[in-house]
């Protein structure tokens, strides 16, 4: 018997290794040699799927998932039911993908150390917001509440809305800020369209919150908009 080969179930000869076995090993070696920055999204997703579905060629499935949900992040932000609808995946594998998503979110959250100013690492802040915001068809508005040293007190989803609108009430935002004894805010919401450019309604709402917060000694540091194509800082655009 050839070294490393497994006997066939009927005992009449050696089992033939699946056609994708060599490809899997090459994909892993490519990842180890190049790092995640130098491989395509479908290649990274393929490697993730190899963990979730150990006995299947996952390259075609990885490409299909990205085509269906629009991006690597879009795959992980899909609901378990949406993932279950993809042929070859199934509810168990869908649940495992959501576990991996949760682990990534927890990792990003832990990078925002509670004893360090949240503004000390802009890249960590953007990574955190990007992993927390869903790339789905519904807008979500969340607030990062900060203390006097700009350390994170709480991260809360305030509202969810429709495909292009989330109702936000400045007085409710300020009320919650005072309840938490926060002295600064970072507003964050997603644009399901993928384009993170602020709308006139986004700008108006942000300025209303700022107008109510300023007399109370509450600082609005920024309003970040997250989209599939990137992110936008209203502070950076000098809109607040």
Q: Name which of 7-11, 197-201, 204-208 the model is least confident about.
A: 7-11
Tokens at 137, concatenated: 């068809």
Q: Is residue 102 located within the same domain as residue 150? A: no
User: Is the whole model's pTM more than 0.75, yes or no?
Assistant: no
What's the rounded Cα separation, in Å, for the pair 194 and 217?
Answer: 34
Domain boundary among 106, 124, 143: 106
The answer to whether the beta carbons of residues 2 and 14 sit under 8 Å apart is: yes
Domain boundary among 84, 106, 128: 106
The answer to whether the beta carbons of residues 135 and 108 sit under 8 Å apart is: no
What's the rounded Cα separation, in Å, for the pair 96 and 168?
Answer: 34
- Determine how β-strand 152-160 pairs with β-strand 140-146: antiparallel
Closest CA to 184 of 228, 222, 136, 220: 220
CATH code for position 53: 1.10.150
Instruction: Examine residue 48 and state whether it is found in any structural domain, yes or no.
Output: yes
Number of domains making up the chain: 2
Q: What is the domain range of residue 73?
A: 21-106
Q: How confident is the model at residue 144 (pLDDT cuts 50, 70, 90)?
A: very high
The Cβ of residue 47 has, within 10 Å, a number of other Cβ atoms equal to 18
Q: Name which of 89-93, 138-142, 174-178 the model is least confident about.
A: 138-142
Q: Is residue 96 located within the same domain as residue 40? A: yes
Alpha-carbon Rg of the chain, whole angstroms? 23
Identify the pLDDT of residue 225: 94
Tokens at 112, concatenated: 């925002």
Identify the pLDDT of residue 9: 52
Q: Is residue 34 located within the same domain as residue 124? A: no
């Amino acid at each position: 018997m050839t070294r490393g080969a497994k006997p066939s179930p009927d005992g009449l000869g050696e089992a033939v290794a699946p056609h994708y076995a060599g490809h899997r090993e090459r994909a892993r070696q490519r990842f180890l040699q190049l790092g995640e920055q130098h491989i395509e999204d479908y290649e990274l997703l393929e490697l993730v799927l190899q963990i979730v579905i150990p006995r299947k060629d996952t390259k075609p499935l990885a490409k299909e998932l990205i085509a269906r949900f629009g991006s690597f992040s879009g795959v992980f932000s899909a609901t378990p039911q949406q993932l279950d609808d993809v042929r070859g995946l199934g509810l168990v594998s869908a649940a495992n993908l959501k576990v991996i998503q949760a682990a990534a979110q927890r990792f990003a959250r832990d990078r925002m150390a509670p004893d360090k100013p949240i503004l000390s690492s802009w890249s960590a802040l953007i990574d955190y917001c990007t992993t927390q915001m869903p790339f789905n068809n519904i807008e979500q508005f969340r607030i990062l509440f900060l203390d006097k040293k700009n350390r994170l007190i709480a991260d809360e989803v305030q509202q969810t809305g429709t495909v292009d609108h989330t109702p936000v009430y400045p007085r409710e935002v300020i009320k919650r800020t005072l309840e938490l004894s926060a002295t600064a805010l970072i507003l964050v919401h997603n644009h399901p369209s993928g384009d993170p450019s602020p709308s006139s309604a986004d700008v108006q709402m942000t300025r209303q919150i700022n107008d109510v917060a300023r007399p109370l000694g509450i600082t609005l540091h920024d309003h970040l908009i997250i989209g599939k194509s990137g992110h936008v800082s209203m502070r950076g655009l000098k809109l607040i």
